[in-house]
Amino acid sequence: MGDRTMRGPRKGRCQTLRQWLLAMALLTAAVPAGAAPLHVAVASNFLTPLETLADAFAEQGGGELLISAGATGQLYTQITNGAPYDVFLAADQARPQRLVDEGLARADRHITYARGQLVLWARPGIALPAKGLAGLRPELVTRLAIANPALAPYGRAAREALEATGQWAALEDRIVQGQNVGQAFQYLATGNVSHALVAASYTRHDNRPAGAHQVVDTDWHAPVRQDAVILERTDSPDQALAFLAFMQGPAATGILQDFGYQPMDESQ
């Protein structure tokens, strides 16, 4: 804290300010030491798993997390404009890489923390074909929700899978796009679409809608890898490192698999 006192006849106000500052200092001191929360910016699709992970991390004595969720690109823009985050959990690999390239994050603090899977989900009463996406009859699809392929990795994966199975041309005019995979899921949950291609993590969601769903064959799209970086500007590099290490440890891996993420492959 700066130790510059105000001069002049405004001593009364200055006193009050000092008392306030003293009270604030006492309050912060009353919290257990080293518990300045780690500020984590997370892509919305990973918010629910992160809340579970945060509890586990705190139980291990890792400290509290302060979580801000948003769209990956929006968070990236905030970070390049000086947002006060310590760790960035993106929905893709591109934006963390850009932050490294721009010197806002360090290359040796850059990991892949999750590998997402895509599921095809249908409204209740609509059966899914045994052959999966390739066997989907277009006339049974009134609306198909996907995330925007230009913005969201799950959207890109959805588009790749539709193209690989030769379904894109037939279904293109029935596709509605959410700005992110969460919004695509919302369209399904509110009954606005007959089918959706969304993240497998939603199959473990407490409020998931009814209806059949099946994992889309991973041969049909590039893996949806989600990367994390520690930001250069962080004031708690040790705590941030501890969190990344935790994310790669057995406890976190178990939680990730519970949420429908694939285990990390060794080839990275």
Partner 1 sequence: MNLTPVWISLQLASVTVAVLLVLGTPLAWWLAMGRSRWRVPVDALVALPLVLPPTVLGFYMLILLGPDGPVGGPWLAVTGNTLTFSFTGLVITSVLYSLPFVVQPLRDAFSSVGGRPLETAAMLGASPRDAFLTIACPLARRGFVTAGVLGFAHTLGEFGAILMVGGSIPGETRAVAIAIFEHVETLEYGAAHALSAGLLVFSFVALLGIYTLNGRRVGVSV
Q: Are 203 and 119 in contact (CB under 8 A)?
A: yes
Q: How far does Cα 28 stand from its chain's mean position?
A: 29
Q: What crossing angle do the helices spanning 250-258 and 237-247 adopt, rounded to 10°?
A: 60
Name the minimum Å distance from CB 199 to partner 1: 18
Check whether 112 is labelled as a binding-site residue. no
Name the minimum Å distance from CB 224 to partner 1: 17
x/- map, 18-57, partner 1, by CB under 8 A: ----------------------------------------
Q: Which of residues 164-193 bind partner 1 (CB under 8 A)?
A: 176-179, 183, 186-187, 190-192
Is residue 71 near partner 1 by the rule CB under 8 A?
yes
Name the minimum Å distance from CB 43 to partner 1: 12
Is residue 148 near partner 1 by the rule CB under 8 A?
yes
SS3 content of the chain, % helix, strand, coil (to 5): 45, 20, 35
- 3 state SS of 21: helix
Pick the closer one to partner 1 by CB: 122 or 256: 122
Check whether 190 is labelled as a binding-site residue. no
Q: Are 250 and 48 in contact (CB under 8 A)?
A: no
Name the minimum Å distance from CB 190 to partner 1: 5
Is residue 242 near partner 1 by the rule CB under 8 A?
no
Pick the closer one to partner 1 by CB: 38 or 43: 43
Q: What are the tokens at 204?
A: 């473990």
* Sheet bearing 38-43, strands edge to edge: 65-70, 38-43, 87-89, 224-231, 105-116
Pick the closer one to partner 1 by CB: 190 or 268: 190
Is residue 151 near partner 1 by the rule CB under 8 A?
yes
Q: Are 60 and 246 in contact (CB under 8 A)?
A: yes
- Binding residue numbers: 72, 181
